Amino acid sequence: MNALIIEDEKLVALELTASLAEVDPGIKIVGTVSSVKTALRWFAENAEPDVIFADIQLSDGISFTIFEKFSISCPVIFTTAYNEHAIRAFKVNGIDYLLKPVDHDELRQAVAKARALAKNQSKLVVDVQKLMDALSTPASLKSVYKEHFLGNARNSWVPVKIADVAYIMRDELNFMVTNSSERYILDYDTLDEIETMLNPNQFYRASRHCLVNINAVQSVKGLANLKLQLVLKAPNHQVSIDISRDKAPSFKKWLEK
């Protein structure tokens, strides 16, 4: 079984290669890539492997970007130090989700799933759907989405509860603004990455540059060009958050949930 490893930490990639050789000597590593950019190039130049082992948070973004660009049909086993992306992982051919450091027994079971998929695809698809349904229940969502961020202000790290975040804005860097108008830099590369960590019922992607908390919205003004303008509750939030005409219908539905 040919395998591709997507991992930005060289030592972790080497450890995974050694672990795979131990749990299943029949696996052949056909490539190891360390970034979204190199992975995209690899898929453009090579045949699809039988299985992919992918970290989620890479040096230049998240690996989900790769699977959005290429239609991958082989199973994907995600390895990550975080559990915030579980539901999204199972929407892109993920058949298992292993938290680092990867346990050998769990790795062996994941490889067995990948081999079984080749023999009985329909059975494993049903199993994955059941897992997605289980992850989507309200009880499990608490463990999927972040409950706090670490914000950086004046070279100090400050824990901030998600409920206290009014909005998150991209302006060269990503930063969050709290309900009390405190501003902190977030140590993430993209707003897309941050969005996957937040409950979509609580945060709305108002634009390419902004995520807004529903609890921070005081009112919504209709503009002449059919755009919407958000008025936030805190009086000292000196920022204009507009919703485009195209996004206005979906925003209204989101507010009504």
Task: Identify which has the larger pLDDT, 88 or 174.
Answer: 174
Reported as a single tens digit per residue, the pLDDT across 31-75 is 999 999 999 999 999 999 999 999 988 888 888 889 888 888 888
Reported as a single tens digit per residue, the pLDDT across 172-196 is 899 999 988 899 999 888 888 888 8
Mean pLDDT, range 222-235, rounded to an integer:
80
pLDDT of residue 140 exceeding 90, the answer is no
pLDDT band at 135 (very low <50, low <70, confident <90, very high): very low
**What is the per-residue DSSP string for the chain?**
-EEEEE-S-HHHHHHHHHHHHHH-TT-EEEEEE-SHHHHHHHHHHS---SEEEE-SEETTEETHHHHHHS---S-EEEEES--TTHHHHTTTTEEEEEESSPPHHHHHHHHHHHHHHHH-HHHHHHHHHHHHHHHTSHHHHHHHS-SEEEEEETTEEEEEEGGGEEEEEEESEEEEEETT--EEEE--S-HHHHHHTS-TTTEEEEETTEEEEGGGEEEEEEPTTS-EEEEESSTT----EEE-TTTHHHHHHHHH-
Mean pLDDT, range 244-248, rounded to an integer:
85
Reported as a single tens digit per residue, the pLDDT across 198-213 is 888 899 998 888 999 9
pLDDT band at 138 (very low <50, low <70, confident <90, very high): very low
